[in-house]
Homo-oligomer: A and B are copies of this chain.
Amino acid sequence: MIVCTTISELKAALARQRSKSPNGFIGLVPTMGYLHEGHASLMRRAGSECEFTVVSVFVNPLQFGPNEDFDKYPRDLERDAALAEKNGVALLFAPSVKEMYPTKPLTRVLISEVTESLCGASRPGHFDGVGTVVSKLFNLIQPNRAYFGMKDAQQVAVIQQMVDDLNMPVDIIPCETVREPDGLAMSSRNVYLTPEQRRQALVLSETLQQAGELIQSPEMTASKLTALASANVLTAPLAVIDYVELLHYPSLQPLDPVLKLADRSDKLILALAVKFGSTRLIDNRLFQPAGGDPNVQNHDEIQASPSYSH
């Protein structure tokens, strides 16, 4: 596995790969490091679809608010490199902040509407930072496909919107959330939890599970479902709700609160953000009450880019 910390090393390695294999797909898994099995599953998916998989590890200051955990965000590049190599990654790109932002960056990629609810409302400016750094990574690496976990469902929706609006030549591949055996969604931030918080954090996945049954009951509405889900989250005494919302997916626009849910054929998302102490966890589930399994992406939905040979 090649490890690059500078943009010039990265470009040279990519040029070698492209000249060796002009039609080989390049896959990108953008991460903030402190990699876990969720990231590993993205790497393996990329490896199964692409000839050359790149993982980026960069804790992007632009997407953290002034009172957020940028400084204490967990980092362990040595362990990340070992995990990436074990999962078939060809190139690990781990630049410094100075390498990514050598001068004061004056350009921002701003996405509206889809960023205004959920984490966009709780973390002002967060998705501006995400859109900007993902644009930079796409321009630097020029991947054919980029892989993102659905735990950050809003991030997937925001990036797909940006790619569509700006005609970026990359296919976004959303991948199902990977969970611990007891159901907790994998996250680098899980290491912050005390044993008691960790135990109570199960309430997120349990609430989503329960909602899967509730949503099928004939009289269920958006306002009832979110009330029941909130009540269930609060059965965990340490839980402090940031948001519990049922929205359209991927537009993330609100639903009519009193319309019956059971016969809806559009995709809905129940999204949770809950704090345990100073640790903020998110989780979500997609629903399509009168449709199929919304988590299974139809492969035809991935648009072929005619500029690449498939």
Which residues of A are at the interface with B, using a C-beta cutoff of 8 A? 7-8, 11-12, 14-15, 18-19, 22, 103, 105-114, 131-132, 135-136, 139-140, 142, 161-162, 164-169, 305-307, 309
Q: What are 13 A-B contacts with C-beta separation under 8 Å?
A: A11-B307, A15-B307, A106-B111, A106-B112, A106-B114, A106-B165, A107-B111, A107-B112, A107-B161, A107-B162, A109-B109, A109-B110, A139-B168
Cβ–Cβ < 8 Å partners of A113 in chain B:
106
- Asked if B108 and A110 make an inter-chain contact with CB atoms under 8 angstroms apart, the answer reads yes
Cβ–Cβ < 8 Å partners of A18 in chain B:
307
Q: Given A107-B110, A113-B106 in contact, is the A7-B169 Cβ separation under 8 Å?
A: no
Shortest Cβ gap from A143 to chain B (Å): 12
Among A18, A111, A112, A306, find the residue whose CB has the most chain B CB atoms closer than 10 A. A306
With the chains together, A218 CA to B194 CA distance in Å? 72
Q: Given A11-B306, A12-B306 in contact, is the A139-B114 Cβ separation under 8 Å?
A: no
Per CB-CB distance, the 10 closest pairs between chain A and chain B, nearest first, are A107-B165, A11-B306, A139-B167, A105-B165, A140-B167, A106-B112, A136-B167, A107-B162, A107-B111, A139-B168
Q: Given A307-B18, A307-B142 in contact, is the A107-B166 Cβ separation under 8 Å?
A: yes
Shortest Cβ gap from A232 to chain B (Å): 33
With the chains together, A132 CA to B168 CA distance in Å? 12
With the chains together, A142 CA to B140 CA distance in Å? 13
